[in-house]
Amino acid sequence: MDATVRKPYPTDLTDLQWEIIQVVLPAARPGGRPRSVDLREVMNAILYVNRSGCQWSMLPHDFPAKSTVYEYFSQWRDDGTWQELLDVLREGYREVHAPSHERTPSAASIDSQSVKGTEHAGGNGYDAGKKIQGRKRSIVVDTLGLLMVVAVTAGHVDDAAAAPTVLESLDREAYPRLKVVWADGKYHNHTLNGWKDGHPELGWELVIVRRPDGVKGFTLLPKRWVVERTFGWLGRARRLSRNYERLNSSSESMIRVRSIQLILNRMDPQERYPPFKYRVASK
């Protein structure tokens, strides 16, 4: 195969990061032509879009073709690869860095965020409480702030109504140690409580965390702050500053991609301004 060279981008995977994730990515499908694209460069291109916020059609020319990159992004969206990769990285990181050194958490936090949409994205709704026309992101994170599950809905969907979409994924098989999910007052809802009472097999308790009696204004609640901090981390990716995706599933996958990058950077930090060098990419 011919080899091309290019200068590095700050979002490029390090050698160790690529070594960690390449074993999780699907193998080439049997039959047909052999795979000719460099999957490391495909992943680098997706990370570039996620961090920079550029359109697929405006990918720099030294990446694989934008149609190829988007094809892999959507394929991994539809076959669950993004969620699988996120789960593998989160569990591996927890095993080393969590105080319990357990791969799965015993506690988690849920929260939502409304973000403005674009006129081309579609699927938007008006969140009257936040006065935002766009979509709503509901996430559950562990006590380290690492993403566990995410669901994107239209902005007008009530927080408590959107919650079962993410909470139903917190089953015994996936999270055998989970005992409690912390939430704020907007999740104190009879419909949501009824849904939870109807699913005792989940095995965890939904606990509403409130401000102490008599306290007004901003109050730091550690059990709530952890998920709000995660939204801050996610928001540093320009692709997530608004909702640019047409499909909710694509929006969810972009959030997973950002979370994957965050964990990888903890495992093997990228240099903000990598030294000048050419990276050889096989084509």
Q: Are strands 205-208 and 107-116 parallel, antiparallel or unpaired?
A: unpaired
With 0-12 / 13-18 / 19 or more C-beta atoms within 10 angstroms meaning exposed / middle / buried, residue 233 is: middle
Q: Cβ(166)–Cβ(151) under 8 Å?
A: yes
- Paired strand residues for 115: 135
What does residue 61 show for φ and ψ, rounded to 5 degrees? -70, -15
Domain spans in the chain, listed from the N-terminal domain onward: 103-245
Beta strands in the chain (DSSP E): 3-6, 107-116, 125-127, 132-142, 147-154, 180-183, 205-208, 279-282
What mean pLDDT is reported for the chain?
89
pLDDT the model gives residue 3: 45
pLDDT the model gives residue 281: 55
Q: Are strands 180-183 and 205-208 parallel, antiparallel or unpaired?
A: parallel
* Residue 2 confidence class, pLDDT cut points 50, 70, 90: very low
Model confidence over 260-279: pLDDT tens digits?
999 999 998 866 555 555 55
Among the listed residues 158, 162, 171, 155, the one whose alpha carbon sits nearest the alpha carbon of residue 204: 171
Distance CA 7, CA 121 (A): 32
Q: If you average pLDDT over residues 144-165, what whole number do you get? A: 94
Distance CA 67, CA 74 (A): 10
pLDDT the model gives residue 217: 58
pLDDT the model gives residue 277: 54
Model confidence over 201-217: pLDDT tens digits?
999 999 998 776 665 65
Q: Could you please state the CATH topology (level 3) that the domain comprising 103-245 is classified under.
A: Nucleotidyltransferase; domain 5 (3.30.420)
Task: Determine which of 1-15, 20-34, 126-140 has the lowest per-residue pLDDT on average.
Answer: 1-15
Model confidence over 15-58: pLDDT tens digits?
999 999 999 999 887 777 788 899 999 999 999 999 999 999 99
What does residue 197 show for φ and ψ, rounded to 5 degrees? -65, -25
Distance CA 127, CA 248 (A): 16
Q: Cβ(107)–Cβ(143) under 8 Å?
A: yes
